[in-house]
Structure 1
Amino acid sequence: MKQTEPDFWVLEYVTITKDPRTDLVVAIGGTDKAADILQRTGGFLSAPGPRGDYHRLPHGLPVEQQRRKATAASHALLAAGHSVHLDPTLNMLVAPDGEREAALRYLAGLAERAAAATTSSEVAEVLTEVAAPVHGLLPLAREVVVRAWIAASDFQGAAPTGEPDPIARLGSTATSMSEAARAILHARNHAARPAQRSATTSPPPSRAQPAKSRRR
C-alpha cells in the first residue's frame, strides 16, 4: 500500500530575519492574511523578489525601531495562528544583557573547573578553552583589541610630542596577548601529557667473575 505524504501548510510559515548583506529586515512566506498582518502591525512593505513577493521594513530604520516592528508583527502573527520564526537578534523581549550574562557564567564556570580539577588533563581542557588558536577566549579578545585599535587610530589624532600615545600602545598590547596565548598553549600541551612516574634506579647487575681454574 502506497503511503501518502502528509499535507503540510508550508506556505503559512513566516520567517522574519535580517539580511546580512543589506541590513534590511525581511519577512518570507505566509498567506495573504499574514501579509495583511505584516503590513498593518509591523509596517512591512511588499516587494518583488527572485522567488516571488516578500515583505521588508523600509530602508534606513534605526535598529531599535526594526526590532520593535519585527517583534510586534511576529506576535500578531502568532496570535492569528501562524507559525513564525523570529530572528533572536530582532526579538525585543529577549533580555539585552542575556548574552553578556551567559558569557560571564561561562567564564565563572571555567574558573570553577580549573579550581576543581583533579588531573592535569582536566587543567589542559580549561587552558584549551582559554587559548585555542581560533575560538579561544584570549585570541578572540585580542581580535577585539586589534579592531578597536584600528578604529581608534582613525578617530584620534597623534599624541602631543613627547607624550606616550595610549592608542598606539594597543598594538603592542595585542602582541603581548598573542604571546600570552602561545605561553598558555605551551603550558596546556605540557599539562596534557600523561604524568610520568619517577622510576627508582637500581644498580646495574655485576658481571659474573670467571671461575678460577683449579691448581693441579
Structure 2
Amino acid sequence: MTRRDDEPTFFVLDYVTITRDPRTQLVVAIGGGPRAAGILQTAGGFHSAPSAARDYHRLPHHMPVEHQRHGATAAAHALLLAGYSVHLDPSLNTLTAPDGDRQAARRYLDLLAERARAAKTEQDVAVVLAEIAAPEEGLLPQLVQSLISTWATWGERRREAGLDEGPADQLMEITSSLSNHARRITQIRNQAARHTPPAAAPRRPSRLQPSRPRRLRDGDSPDP
C-alpha cells in the first residue's frame, strides 16, 4: 500500500514523555528519535543529556518554574503537530485553566473529608489516615516538603541580606513539629489497620420448653 501525499504521517511508536523528575525536580523528556530531539531543542529549549541508562533531554538547571512550563508546553505542542504521540505532565501544561490545579486539590480534600465522615469501620479510617500521613505520598509529608523548600530558600535569602533569621527559624520549628505529627498519625493509622472487630457472642438456646399436652380426666372437657 503506497502512502498518499495528502495524508499525515504519524509516528505512533515514537512516544515522547515530558514530565518532572520527582527526585531532582528537573523537567525531562524521554523517547523519540533525532527529529524529536531537534523539536525539543528548538521549540522548548531542551538540552540533550546522555546517560548510562538511556539518553534523555532536560531543561536547564535553575530555570524559573513558569519558563519550564512554557518550554514543556511549546515542545509538546510542536511534537504533536509533527505527528508524535506525547504525554505531557498536567502540572507543566500552560494550556490548562490557571486555577485548575487548585480547584482539583480542593475537590480532592472535599472528597477525603466526605470519606472520613462516611467511615464505618476501622479499616475505612485507616485508609483515610494513610492518604493524610503516609510516608512521602501522604498529604502532610508533601506539605512538609513544601514548607522545607520555603524555609530553606527564605532563610538563606534573609541571611545573605543580613536580616533577622528568626521568622525563618520559627517556620523551621513548625515544619519539624508538623513532620512529627505526621509520623504520630501514621502510628495511629497502623493501630486502626490492625484492629479486628470482636467476634459475635454465640446465641444462647432458648430456655422455654414446649408445653406438653394435658391429659384429660373423666369429666374434663377439652379446651375450646
158, 165, 176: which one aligns with 2:164: 158
Q: Is the 8 A contact 2:47 2:60 kept in 1?
A: no
TM-score, with length taken from structure 2 = 0.56
Cα distance between partner residues in 2 of 1:44 and 1:174: 36
Q: How does 1:41-190 map to 2 (within 5 A)?
A: 42=43, 68=70, 71=73, 74-75=76-77, 78-79=80-81, 82-85=83-86, 87-88=88-89, 90-156=92-158, 157-158=163-164, 165-190=166-191
Cα 1:121–1:167, aligned 2, differ >3 Å: closer, same or farther?
A: same
Cα distance between partner residues in 2 of 1:130 and 1:113: 12
SS of corresponding position for 1:109: helix
Out of 172-181 and 115-124, give the one that drifted further.
172-181
Q: Residue 219 of structure 2 aligns with which residue?
A: none
Q: Is the 8 A contact 2:80 2:86 kept in 1?
A: no
Question: C-alpha displacement at 1:191, in angstroms?
Answer: 2.2
Unaligned runs of 5+ in 1: 1-7, 160-164, 200-216
Q: Is the 8 A contact 1:11 1:29 kept in 2?
A: no
Q: Counterpart of 1:158 in structure 2: which amino acid?
A: D
**RMSD (CA atoms):** 4.6
Question: C-alpha displacement at 1:166, in angstroms?
Answer: 2.4
Question: C-alpha displacement at 1:104, in angstroms?
Answer: 2.0
Aligned residues: 182
TM-score, with length taken from structure 1 = 0.58
Cα distance between partner residues in 2 of 1:66 and 1:175: 30
SS of corresponding position for 2:192: helix
Q: Is the 8 A contact 2:10 2:84 kept in 1?
A: no
